[in-house]
A and B are shown apart, each in its own frame.
Chain A
Amino acid sequence: MMSNPDNLKYTTSHEWIKTEADGSISIGITQHAQELLGDMVFVESPKVGRKLKAKEECAVVESVKAAADIYAPVSGEVTAVNSELDDKPESINSDPYAAWMFKMKPDNPSDVAALMDAKAYKALVDSEAH
């Protein structure tokens, strides 16, 4: 199984968060999440400019099997969406840690720092498997 990159942060709802050089964050779903959902066929992204609260439902991914909500990992504003996923939702399956869904400017960068690291996320996934 692909390991979860050490340079990312994670949520209990299986999003990964990458802090970019400009202080914005990119958000996608984890290897574990894409494996559970299976073949992706549709991504609905939030609108650029939308203000989100932490844990707010803001996007949807749909696989052949099921739909899953994506939650804002922290409070902040949506600054970009990855429109390439409209035509290639399957890239979430093939390379989940490259297939970012949207970017946010966090209200408080410290909120990002407080999210789970790779080790804590791995422990969460392992505990769900039992």
Chain B
Amino acid sequence: MTLKQTPLNAAHRAMGAKMVDFGGWDMPVNYGSQLDEHHQVRNDSGMFDVSHMRVVDIKGSGIRNFLRLLLANNVDKLQQPGKALYSCMLLDNGGVIDDLIVYFMSEEWFRIVVNAGTADKDIAWMKKQAAKHAPQLAISDHPELAMIAVQGPNARAKVWEALPGSKVLTENLAPFNAVEMGTMFIARTGYTGEDGFEVMIPAKAAPLFWATLAEKGVKPIGLGARDTLRLEAGMNLYGQDMDETISPLESGLAWTVDLKSERDFIGKAALLANPPKRKLVGLVLLDRGVLRSHQQVHTAHGAGEITSGSFSPTLDKSIALARVPKDVQVGDTVQVAIRDKMLAAKVVKYPFARNGKGLI
């Protein structure tokens, strides 16, 4: 099978990237040291090609009502144009189809950004539900839009240097808000626990924007560091920390599921009928070693499993997210089976690091 390429493929190769098959996409995993790239984002600014993610626009009248049904989080939290919301989209049985960000631009236009690996099934699901509940809506996806995330304490200032005119528009943009600038769409969002922007830009214009950012000193960051940054920031990865077989309430995502309002949504009945028995916790390894996904966790309340584990460059320790019985508490010591050994880990509240600093 031929791997799919983003508009920045040649740029990655020219910058010395090591390319890997990432769910059918030919993507940079690192350009040099993954650890250096991680610190670069925590301490200065880095840029990520996230063009494999898919932009979906919903247009028409009655979108809000449709999204009230489609999404587990409550779009009524979105009242100011430009405001964004993180949400899960659930199956009837409460399993997670995908996690996404929805931007409210107007009552006639909401924009949704979904994961690359799930984009096709997400769009099929949205269209199926719309056919049933809101056939007047137009749902279109935009693979012709590239996306570049610029993240780090200096990220916004670098974008302002690279994109003349963007400062005036985005200087007062609050976190989790977006604004249009010509053919571009600038959102103050990200997946690193640092300040910054995610910029959607027509594919043709992406290489020049990328090159300009590089000229301004923004370093390219691969998927390797993207994963350690998001893990430190305590952000879930779809397919690893949750999927169609797992409830968001057992995935650390209860804060994104609105069970309080009267509103009905797809999956709500199943969630109410099946209270969570497990929960997602943070682990810090006390012994030497590295936590990895699928390692078994032994607790006083039964067995659990690591969903995401790695080495934390900020803490200089190994950290993980683990799904464990709900009675496990922060402060408990648990045992993790690593090869032929049982190693001690401490249960902690996550995130592990954000805004340049370790929090553990």
* B35 x A39 contact (CB < 8 A): yes
Once A64-B35, A64-B228 are accepted as A-B contacts, the answer to whether A41 and B30 lie under 8 Å apart by CB is: no
Once A38-B34, A39-B33 are accepted as A-B contacts, the answer to whether A64 and B289 lie under 8 Å apart by CB is: no
Q: What separation, in Å, do the CA atoms of A86 and B288 have in the docked complex?
A: 9
Once A38-B224, A39-B35, A42-B311 are accepted as A-B contacts, the answer to whether A67 and B290 lie under 8 Å apart by CB is: yes
Q: What separation, in Å, do the CA atoms of A114 and B33 have in the docked complex?
A: 35
Map CB proximity to A onto B143-169 as digits: 1 under 8 Å, 0 otherwise: 000000000000000000000000000
* B33 x A41 contact (CB < 8 A): no
**Chain B CB within 10 A, most for which of A39, A42, A93:** A39
Across-interface contacts of A65 in B (CB, < 8 A): 29, 34, 224
* A42 x B289 contact (CB < 8 A): yes
Q: Of all chain B residues, which has the CB nearest A36?
A: B18
* A interface size (C-beta, 8 A): 12
Q: What separation, in Å, do the CA atoms of A64 and B95 have in the docked complex?
A: 30
Q: What separation, in Å, do the CA atoms of A64 and B288 have in the docked complex?
A: 14
Residues of B within 8 A of A (CB): 29-30, 33-35, 224, 228, 288-290, 292, 310-311, 313, 318, 339
Residues of A within 8 A of B (CB): 38-39, 41-42, 44, 60, 62, 64-65, 67, 86, 93
**Extra inter-chain contacts (8) besides given A38-B33, A42-B318, A64-B228, CB under 8 Å:** A41-B311, A42-B289, A44-B289, A62-B311, A64-B224, A64-B310, A67-B290, A86-B288
Query: What are 21 A-B pairs at a CB distance below 8 A?
Result: A38-B33, A38-B34, A38-B224, A39-B33, A39-B34, A41-B290, A41-B318, A42-B288, A42-B289, A42-B311, A44-B288, A44-B289, A62-B289, A62-B290, A64-B224, A64-B228, A64-B310, A64-B313, A67-B290, A86-B288, A93-B33
